[in-house]
């Protein structure tokens, strides 16, 4: 016969694993996530007569860890909810990107950023 105290202990022991398996949800933005670590290169769209993208290195940033990035020698943080990336602090604070693929972010809006800006993951440190 199982004692109630043993059952309670078993349920409490399994709770962290059950919670870890469930995705964290943000309301109303969607699941919270992180970007692949590596360098994201800023560029503007090119045209048919030239290169596909026109590099804008002043918009580069590097994801250095969970929800942290480095740009212009400074560190900041970002929040990824669903497919929206919001730079919440640091040199890119206020920029919002839509994540189109694992390695492509397209500017949604932000102060002083050029229209059409996109950031492409050059190197994925995760492999």
Residues 54-91: tens digit of each pLDDT: 999 999 999 998 899 999 999 999 999 999 999 999 99
Q: Is pLDDT of 112 > 50?
A: yes
Integer CA distances (angstroms), 121 to 9, 36, 61, 69, in order: 46, 8, 10, 13
SS3 at position 92: coil
Closest by CA to 102, choosing from 52, 45, 38, 30, is: 38
Q: Residue written as tokens 């043993």?
A: 6
Which pTM value belongs to this model? 0.73
Q: Considering just the CA atoms, what is the radius of gyration of the chain in Å?
A: 20
pLDDT at 127 (0 to 100): 47
The token pair at 28 is 């109303």
Query: Six-digit token pair at 112?
Result: 């002083």
Q: What is the mean pLDDT of residues 28-39?
A: 90
**For 116-123, what is the mean pLDDT?**
92
Under a CB-based contact definition with an 8 Å cutoff, are residues 81 and 26 in contact? yes
């Amino acid at each position: 016969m199982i004692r109630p105290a043993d059952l309670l202990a078993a349920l409490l022991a399994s709770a962290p694993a059950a919670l870890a398996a469930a995705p964290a949800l943000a309301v109303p933005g969607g699941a919270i996530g992180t970007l692949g670590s590596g360098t994201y290169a800023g560029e503007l769209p090119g045209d048919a007569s030239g290169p596909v993208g026109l590099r804008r290195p002043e918009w580069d940033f590097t994801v250095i860890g969970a929800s942290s990035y480095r740009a212009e020698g400074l560190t900041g943080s970002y929040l990824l909810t669903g497919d929206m990336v919001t730079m919440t602090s640091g040199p890119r604070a206020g920029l919002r990107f839509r994540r189109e693929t694992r390695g492509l972010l397209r500017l949604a809006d932000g102060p002083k950023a050029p229209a059409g800006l996109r950031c492409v993951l050059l190197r994925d440190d995760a492999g």
